[in-house]
């Protein structure tokens, strides 16, 4: 699948009806400034200010946005929206200042008003959960596109990219800030988009990024420990996600009751809920039956209300993608689409960037890249690959720095227990010492009993780690490179250097050619790190994992 275009700035609508600053001041409950000040945009980034914008000056960890108000004024800002701590610095620019107690809490409402509430003209489906958000959003967008009438376009907003009627723009975060999000909706409306699938992160809900959005359908995939560097505990994480399933955020909900937190959400949600179960729970409104797992995808029978029954497909491998496909079918049915038509569009989705994305360079084994970067996701991906691998599984994984450190031992343990070769390496160490991160992962791997543990290698250099896994691969094996997925860079000590797991995996395969007429064994021609230990006896394989 082509990569997203990452060179273009986020678009803005071409046609905006100016809104008087006085009208916005009344909406925000602030003093009404004197004079005529027509407003045509809003941004929280002083570098992105365009003439006619309100500059939203947010407090930050090290700086206050008001410190950059002079820059915003020089670019044509007509006013500054800030909090009491930024008011004096903002006023020094000579621009009108709208002071509110919490800028984030009011920024969404201002953006909605400036852009004329563009979301009301779109069918909006929001997807939240720990795992599966990206894949489910892509599958929903595929169903929307297949069902669209002539002249109708679709949109997608998520971790990998934003898509507007075919244009692709690299995403900086899972859910854009409220100022950017409402501008994107306005652009979509201009370009004939009538429906959009969107990922909604817990950060977005906690930080007001989706303020002003009322989704037609909210979807919950699952919940497992993640972002516990941001949320104090799982209860706070759950309650933040649950905000999406209230009348202020959504009309109806679609919830996975195979998940423990999903069952709780279905009981506590403040909006009507339709449930689904890929495991075939009899109480679910939509269920999967007769599931057939394949190496490239799965097929299943979708069972819906009132005797609805039809054959459907998940276009990516793994049982969890049956759940993602069923979530998409359920959401689209609840949104009013014909579920069979929606299922056809879902089955036709060609893939999702960095989600069990295949890398094919002519090798006689499966090579995939996946974004799995938390323990449960790593386990799910490895179990899924086990089901479709005749030989051994060789997996590469790292943990990100400046993120939840408690998951690192669990991720090391999961890799050591479920892969025949577990190569521990760097992800995005950021400001942390890569070796300290690896030490935590290795400690977890060491807790796995030796008879349950695969061969564990430690290679700090990620490219060398990928080469080490490729060097061990034989016909019928699988090589998995996990953790970074679609990402195009690696953050080391604050410097982001170009790095794409897909490109590195393809290059490593090319440097380690496989002879179709002889059993493969690593040779000196393969680009393997000289610090990696020699290969084990290729016949000394462990039996199937239970």
Binding-site members are 46, 129-135, 174-175, 201, 209, 403, 427-430, 483, 487
The count of residues in the chain is 546
Roughly how many angstroms between the first and final C-alpha of the chain, as a whole number? 34
Residues making up the annotated binding site for ATP are 129-135
- Helix, strand or coil, per DSSP, at residue 487: coil
Cross-strand partners of 496? 491
Exposed, middle or buried: residue 71 (CB in 10 Å: 0-12, 13-18, 19+)?
middle
How far apart are the C-alpha atoms of 477 and 472, rounded to whole Å?
9
What strand order describes the sheet that includes 366-370? 357-358, 366-370, 478-482, 393-397, 421-424, 455-458
Whether the CA torsion 478, 483, 488, 492 is positive or negative: it is negative
How far apart are the C-alpha atoms of 37 and 314, rounded to whole Å?
52
Under a CB-based contact definition with an 8 Å cutoff, are residues 59 and 85 in contact?
Answer: yes
> How many angstroms separate the Cα of 301 from the Cα of each of 69, 132, 338, 357?
57, 20, 16, 25
* Torsion (CA) 532, 533, 534, 535 in degrees, nearest 10: -90
Which uninterrupted H or E stretch holds 136?
helix 133-147
- Phi and psi at residue 527, in whole multiples of 5°? -85, 80
* Structure letter (DSSP) for residue 352: B
377: left (phi over 0), alpha (psi -120 to 50) or beta: alpha
DSSP 315-351: SSSSHHHHHHHHHHHHHHHHTT--HHHHHHHHHT---
Query: Which residue carries 């049956």 as its tokens?
Result: 322
Exposed, middle or buried: residue 168 (CB in 10 Å: 0-12, 13-18, 19+)?
middle
For every residue of 219-281, which 3-state class applies, written as one string? Answer: EECCCCCCCCCCCCCHHHHHHHHHHHHCCCCEEEEEEECCCHHHHHHHHHCCCCEEEEECCCC
Residues making up the annotated binding site for meso-2,6-diaminopimelate are 403, 427-430, 483, 487
């Amino acid at each position: 699948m082509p990569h997203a275009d990452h060179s273009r700035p986020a678009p803005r609508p071409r046609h905006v009806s100016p809104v008087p600053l006085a009208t916005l001041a009344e909406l925000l409950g602030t003093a009404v400034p004197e004079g005529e000040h027509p407003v045509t945009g809003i941004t929280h980034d002083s570098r992105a200010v365009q003439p006619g914008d309100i500059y939203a000056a947010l407090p930050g960890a090290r700086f206050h946005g008001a410190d950059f108000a002079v820059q915003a004024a020089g670019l044509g800002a007509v006013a500054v929206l800030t909090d009491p701590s930024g008011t004096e610095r903002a006023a020094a620019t000579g621009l009108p200042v709208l002071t509110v107690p919490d800028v984030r809490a009011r920024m969404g409402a201002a953006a909605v008003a400036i852009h004329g509430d563009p979301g009301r003209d779109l069918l909006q489906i929001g997807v939240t959960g720990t795992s599966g958000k990206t894949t489910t959003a892509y599958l929903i967008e595929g169903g929307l596109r297949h069902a669209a009438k002539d002249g109708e376009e679709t949109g997608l907003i998520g971790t990998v990219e934003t898509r507007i009627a075919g244009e692709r723009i690299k995403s900086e975060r899972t859910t854009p800030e409220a100022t950017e999000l409402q501008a994107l909706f306005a652009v979509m409306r201009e370009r004939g988009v009538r429906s959009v699938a969107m990922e909604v992160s817990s950060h977005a809900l906690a930080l007001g990024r989706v303020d002003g959005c009322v989704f037609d359908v909210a979807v919950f995939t699952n919940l497992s420990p993640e972002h516990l560097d941001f949320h104090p505990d799982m209860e706070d994480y759950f309650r933040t996600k649950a905000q999406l399933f209230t009348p202020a955020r959504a009309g109806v909900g679609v919830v996975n009751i195979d998940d423990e937190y999903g069952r709780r959400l279905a009981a506590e949600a403040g909006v009507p809920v339709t449930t689904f179960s890929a495991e075939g729970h009899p109480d679910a409104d939509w269920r999967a039956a007769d599931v057939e797992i394949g190496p490239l995808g799965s097929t299943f029978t979708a069972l819906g209300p009132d005797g609805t029954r039809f054959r459907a497909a998940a276009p990516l491998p793994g049982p969890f993608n049956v759940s993602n496909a069923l979530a998409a079918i359920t959401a689209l049915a609840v949104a009013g689409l014909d579920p069979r038509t929606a299922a056809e569009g879902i089955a036709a989705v060609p893939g999702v960037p960095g989600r069990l994305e295949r890398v094919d360079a002519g090798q006689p084994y499966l090579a995939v890249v996946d974004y799995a970067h938390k323990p449960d996701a790593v386990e799910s991906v490895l179990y899924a690959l086990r089901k479709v691998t005749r030989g051994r599984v060789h997996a590469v994984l790292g943990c990100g720095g400046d993120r939840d450190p408690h998951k690192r031992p669990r991720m090391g343990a999961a890799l050591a227990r479920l892969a025949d070769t577990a190569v521990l390496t760097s992800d995005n160490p950021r400001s942390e010492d890569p070796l300290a991160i690896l030490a935590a992962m290795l400690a977890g791997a060491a807790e796995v009993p030796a008879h349950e543990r695969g061969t564990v290698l430690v290679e700090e250099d990620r490219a060398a780690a990928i080469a080490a896994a490729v060097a061990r691969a034989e016909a019928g094996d699988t090589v998995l490179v996990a953790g970074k997925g679609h990402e195009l860079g690696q953050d080391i000590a604050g410097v982001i250097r170009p790095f794409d797991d897909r490109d590195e995996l393809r290059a490593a395969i090319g440097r380690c050619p496989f002879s179709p007429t002889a059993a493969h064994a690593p040779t000196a021609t393969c680009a393997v790190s000289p610090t990696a230990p020699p290969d084990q006896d290729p016949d000394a394989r462990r039996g199937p994992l239970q």
